[in-house]
Amino acid sequence: MTNLFTRLLLVYLIGCVPALAQTVQLVRGPYIQVVTPTSAIVRWRTSQPTVGRLWYGTSPTSLSSEQRETQATQEHVITVSGLQPATRYAYAIGFDDTKLASGNDYYIPTAPTTGSTHPFRIWALGDFGIGSDNQKQVYQALRNATTNRTPDLWVWLGDNAYCCGTDDQYQQYVFDLYGPSLRNIPIFPTPGNHDYADSRTNFDIAYYKLFSFPTQGEAGGVPSGSKSYFSANYGNVHLISLDSQAQEDGIYRLYDTTSRQVQWLKRDLATNKLPWTIVIFHHPPYSKGGHDSDTEDQMAMIRRNLTPILERYGVDLVMNGHSHGYERYYRLKNMTGFADTYKADVNRAETTTGRYDGSANSCPILMKGQGTVYVVNGSGGALGGQSPGFPHPATVYANTYVGGSMLLDVNDNRLDAQLILSDGTSPDRFTIIKNTNKTTSLTAEYADTLALQASWPGVNSPAASTPNAADNIYRWPTGATSRAIRYPANRAGTYTIDVTDDKQCLVDKFTLTVSAQPRLTTRTATTACAGSTIPVTASPENTTKATGWQYDVLLSDASGSFATERVVGSGSINSLQANLPADIAGSGYRLRVRARGINYAELVASDAITIRSAPTATLTGSSTVVQGTPTSLTLTFTGDAPWQGTLSDGTAFSATSSPIALTISPARTTTYSIASLRNGCGTGTVTGQSTVTVLIPTETEAFAGGQLSLFPNPTKDNVQLKLTTTQVNPISVVLRDVQGQTLYQQQFSPANTLTTTIPITAPTGTYLLSVTVGTQTITRKVVKE
């Protein structure tokens, strides 16, 4: 019977499991906390205990990774790690294979890399969880204002759930209302007095049970070991949350500077190296709203004891709630007394309103020297109340009639804050710009292109809010209006380039020291031969870039002018040479070297070059001479002396002037040409040839087709000519002197024999007797004594 009952019970329970799973409901969340560049905590609550499961990935349709809890619970806390900085990860939550919540607006936005200048947006909200119409209107106005750019981080300034910070009140006034934002905007909270139900010593409150805190420095900063106070890094901002309500160890409040909280605060501030520091806690040191910092001890003591620490460590912005309105104060310093002790010339670190809208005295807050900006931002839900003396004399703007919240857009060294009221208006805004109005000294070479950038980013950055964001103009002397320019350093010397904003509030100065123009001085030989290759040296000055340039070697005309320059070489600076044309000569030529594409360099030409042409020689002087009689050939030269060479028969010659007569005495008829020619510029070119006909005197001499006899030879007056031929032909006889002048000429009838006397009436000397038989001519030397 017992076994039967057990079996029936088991079947019943098994059958109930699907029904049980179907009844699991998402009661709260999800909501995101302790976000870092690589991790985040996601929390939610279910109606029944389940083993929580979180799916995540790059898109809602690609949830390829997951994390699971190890045991069933209703309060689910899953840490997702191994993420990339400044990245959105889609996610879904549930259990087993059941997804309880997912969609396009379920995503985890990881923090930017610590120290990164990546733009981001903070939404700051105080005293909000009250269930009022104002709360709903403030939230809706915020959502309307951030349609195109949602916040990346959500800062709570305390009194998060009224009246008493119970679990039910958090559910009703926070989780049920802000669900669309909680699922994708990480929370960075601080507690207020209502979160403690106005207790100072009871830490067993919903606030500490519902939220996770970076107590071990896991999000940056010095580990606090306490859920009451902690710090985190987000991009280039160091955030600190302090507890101004609790009485630590049952003794110390925030204003007790010997407390563990304040001692940790000092260590954390001293350790921080990020450029921005924002501190939040609930009770403001300055307020004349619903709470009076002159009459309420907690606020007065914080002002007296804590603000000097915040200012000494360079805190930029302090945000509080408690008073149910908005009060923005000038950047203050050393303002520890009552409101009526405030002196603008003493306690205002900067006189500007910071609105940066072109109105009077509205330039950005520059954070130079000691001083901190304080803001009361406590009308996110609760609203109203003024104390005697409202507004505080140190306020720039105050409003206790219309609720609102704040947006802070951080972009590098610029923070733009604005109040978004429940009616959608933005009556107050301020801009803080750090590390601007810089003077930067730059050294450049002439014609370098310098990258100059203003030290402040424009308002139209990806993180900027859209209202009133029209002005984003930079004024450069070049006429450019962008933040960064490329400036050509085309003026030598030391001078300043200024960039200002459009409202003449900001100015960066760039002091440029620009070297003189590059100079290229060319050196080469002072004499050279046409057609030769000569080395060229270019000496650069006022530049370190010369070895990286490519160069052309330029040749002037004979007067030294480069108006019609010729490129006669190219290469790197250490391998330059000039290939001189073969068709030039003279003493006025110059070379210069020019870097390609460097049209601003000063070019210094070489000294004048005497260019010697290559030699030429022409041979003339054909003649007919009797054997043994010397004759001469004429050699005409161009180019520079001296010239040397040889004739085709090996006869050597040298000359220092042109022309020259070269005496020769060939033994036989010879045709001469020039075999070689050279001077100081090398081998030359030659032209011309000469034939010397050599006559051999004989008494009787056979010739083709007959015999010729001349006698006597030598003779004193006449010579006897006897001719015998094998054929009958016309015969003519001509007597000439060696200069070719005809002295005697006689034509004879055709015959095959001839005997005649040739008179020689000319003076003694050598004569040439030519006998023509038909088409054949025989020339013989005749000597008269």
The hierarchical CATH code for the domain 699-784 is 2.60.40.1930
Topology at the third CATH level for domain 439-514: Immunoglobulin-like (2.60.40)
With a cut of 90, say whether residue 139 has pLDDT above it: yes
At 340-377, the pLDDT tens digits run: 999 999 999 999 999 999 999 999 999 999 999 999 99
- What average pLDDT is seen over the chain? 92
pLDDT for res 465: 44
Mean pLDDT of 167-189: 98
Length of the chain: 785
- Topology of domain 116-431 in CATH is Purple Acid Phosphatase; chain A, domain 2 (3.60.21)
Q: What is the CATH number of domain 23-110?
A: 2.60.40.10
At 762, list the tokens.
Answer: 């000319």
Asked if the domains 23-110 and 439-514 are classified in one and the same CATH topology, the answer is: yes
Range in 176-180, 698-702, 758-762 with the lowest mean pLDDT: 698-702
* Fold of the domain spanning 616-694: Immunoglobulin-like (2.60.40)
- Angstrom CA distances, 98 to 77, 560, 643, stand at 17, 92, 109
By CB atoms closer than 10 A (0-12, 13-18, 19+), residue 496 is exposed
DSSP state of 188: E
SS3 264: helix
pLDDT at 699: 54
Cα–Cα distances in Å, from 309 out to 304, 305, 314, 322, 453? 10, 7, 9, 21, 35
Structure tokens at 50: 């389940």
Share of the chain above pLDDT 90, in %: 82
What would the mean pLDDT of 459-488 be, rounded to a whole number?
73
Q: How far apart are CA 640 and CA 699, in angstroms?
A: 51
Q: How far separated are the first and last CA of the chain, in Å rounded? A: 180
Query: Could you read off the pLDDT of 40-99 as tens digits, one per residue?
Result: 999 999 999 999 999 999 999 999 999 999 999 999 999 999 999 999 999 999 999 999
Q: Cis bond leading into 163, ω under 30°?
A: yes
Q: How far apart are CA 152 and CA 234, in angstroms?
A: 10
Q: Rounded CA gap, 452 and 483, in Å?
A: 8
**Which residues lie below 8 Å from residue 125, measured CB to CB, with a gap of 6+?**
138, 142, 154, 155, 156, 157, 377, 380, 405, 406
pLDDT for 470 beyond 80: no
Coil/strand/helix, residue 42 = strand
Domain definitions of the chain by residue range = 23-110, 116-431, 439-514, 519-612, 616-694, 699-784
The domain 519-612 having CATH identifier 2.60.120.700: the answer here is no
Q: Is the pLDDT of residue 638 over 90?
A: no
Taking every pair of Cα atoms in the chain, the longest distance, rounded to a whole number of angstroms, is: 184
What does DSSP say about strands 689-695 and 700-703: parallel, antiparallel, or unpaired? unpaired
Q: Look at residue 716 in the predicted model and tell me its pLDDT.
A: 86
Residues 706-753: tens digit of each pLDDT: 898 888 888 888 999 899 998 899 999 999 998 889 989 999 999 999
pLDDT of residue 775: 87
Tokens of 580: 């001189």
Is 500 or 7 the better-scoring residue by pLDDT? Answer: 500
Q: Are 565 and 553 in contact (CB under 8 A)?
A: no
Q: Say whether pLDDT at 178 is over 50.
A: yes
Please give the average per-residue pLDDT across 558-577, as a whole number: 95
% of the chain beyond a pLDDT of 70: 95
Enter the pTM of the model.
0.77
Closest CA to 266 of 275, 277, 251, 276: 277
Greater confidence (479 vs 703) lies with 479
